[in-house]
Chains A and B, each alone.
Chain A
Amino acid sequence: MQHLTRIKWFVLLVILQALVLNHVHFGRFATPLLYIYFILKFNSDTNTKSLILWGFSLGICIDILSNTPGLNAAATVFTAFCRPKLLHVLSTRDPDDKFEPGIRIMGLAAFSRYALAVIFLHSAALNIIDAFSFVNFNILILKILSDALMTLVCVLCIDSVRRER
């Protein structure tokens, strides 16, 4: 049953990202990279390998739909690889504790901190690989920050709505 929910979220996020959010550019820059929410919500005891594999399949699905083979996959694999360490460092809970990261369980402050770190890492990786040069450094930084901020807002919104159910 848990797998079914996971696959449902997977399809939903891929479709939403590729068809809608990739075409959203607030103030000509900020694009919400909401699909990373999928990686954020894995249980804290998920092993890194399966996280990386899920990240790769998520990234490649979005890539295929948006004509950027490998771009999102590379960034998402990197993010999935870093997530366990970030969660371990940034959550105030016992490391052996098993929990699903979220506002309800971690509290708003801790979850925001953890989400911001993961999202920022993802946005930085994605935009650096995409631009593949530091020629327009200021624009790159602006894009990374605006994407990360936009994504964080979306993730917090979705998570608080989900919590109330």
Chain B
Amino acid sequence: MRNLINFLIKYNHWLLFVLLETVSFVLLFRFNNYQGSVYFTSANRLCGAIYDMTGQVTRYFGLADVNRDLTARNVELEIEVERLTEALEHYTQDTTGIARLRREALAEYTLHEARVVNNSITRPNNFITIDKGRADGIRPEMGVVCGNGVVGIVYLTGASHSIVLPVLNSRSNISCKIKRTDYFGILKWEGGSPQYAYVKDMPRHSEFSLGDTIVTSGHSAVFPAGIPIGTVDDMTDSHDGLSYLLKVRLFTDFARLNNVQIISSAKGTEQTALEDSARIALER
């Protein structure tokens, strides 16, 4: 016993070393499993305030490019809206119906504006911090988009800041489809360039061509259908050979993310609750 105590006294820095390494790894794995503690991330109050200050300075640098992108996207959308409106008028011969349709499409969803205060793109698992939190009605599992396309999904919420799991995170899974032919797959990112992601599980009989647009499928409650993600850049066989793997060039430029919108849908919570209870029932 005395030898043991002597041993512990002599090598107590070993004990401290093992203890602190354990604490670090517990933190590391807790955060990697879903929903860690907000206090150990930049969604806590103090860090949020620090990043607010730096964000206010740095967000001006990319403003010109953001503006140009938005203008281009705006023009694109205007043209599309014009074309669709004409088509609709042609088919229905009813002009008052269009305004009603537009109202109905957006009625289910509420958009919250937010600013990106911290962002990374080069790590294997990237995170984005935004300046809206629980107090502003943000909840985990809400979809996040920007002017050009999909950004990611809210992961953790603090009182006034939240952490977003962007597409550029190996744990992000977003249901998507090919806009032209409606075949759907799952959007994954596997590290490397922040401009490209992959669509997995695209069936072998699906029809697509290079340059096709990929949009959200609307199958999950997170995103409404039809939000642009990117264009098909390249295609290969998946590792098991059962499906195609599409390389997608993302519309969103994550390196210059400034303003984002968070989508909350009234229907979404109901759908999620239903899917969760179904899953729990199956596991029993």
In chain A, what residue has the closest Cβ to B37? A69
**Structural contact, B28 and A64, CB atoms closer than 8 A:** no
**Structural contact, B12 and A74, CB atoms closer than 8 A:** no
B44: which A residues are within 8 A, CB to CB? 64
CB distance from B148 to the nearest CB of A (A): 22
In chain B, what residue has the closest Cβ to A143? B122
**Number of chain B residues whose Cβ lies closer than 8 Å to a Cβ of chain A:** 34
A65-100 vs B, CB cutoff 8 Å, 1 = contact: the mask equals 111111101100110010000000000000000000
> A-side binding surface: helix, strand, loop or mixed?
helix
**Structural contact, B23 and A73, CB atoms closer than 8 A:** yes
Within the assembled complex, what's the spacing in Å between the Cα atoms of A22 and B177? 35
Interface presence of A48 (CB below 8 A)? yes
B115-132 vs A, CB cutoff 8 Å, 1 = contact: the mask equals 000101011100101000
State which of B31, B47, B122, B129 has its C-beta within 8 Å of the C-beta of A70. Answer: B31
**Structural contact, B21 and A77, CB atoms closer than 8 A:** yes
Interface presence of B226 (CB below 8 A)? no
**Structural contact, A52 and B27, CB atoms closer than 8 A:** no
Within the assembled complex, what's the spacing in Å between the Cα atoms of A73 and B31? 14
State which of A23, A48, A69 has its C-beta within 8 Å of the C-beta of B36. Answer: A69
In chain B, what residue has the closest Cβ to A57? B20
**Structural contact, B17 and A67, CB atoms closer than 8 A:** no
State which of B21, B27, B191 has its C-beta within 8 Å of the C-beta of A136. Answer: B191
State which of A59, A64, A73, A131 has its C-beta within 8 Å of the C-beta of B41. Answer: A64
Interface presence of B54 (CB below 8 A)? yes
**Structural contact, B122 and A25, CB atoms closer than 8 A:** yes
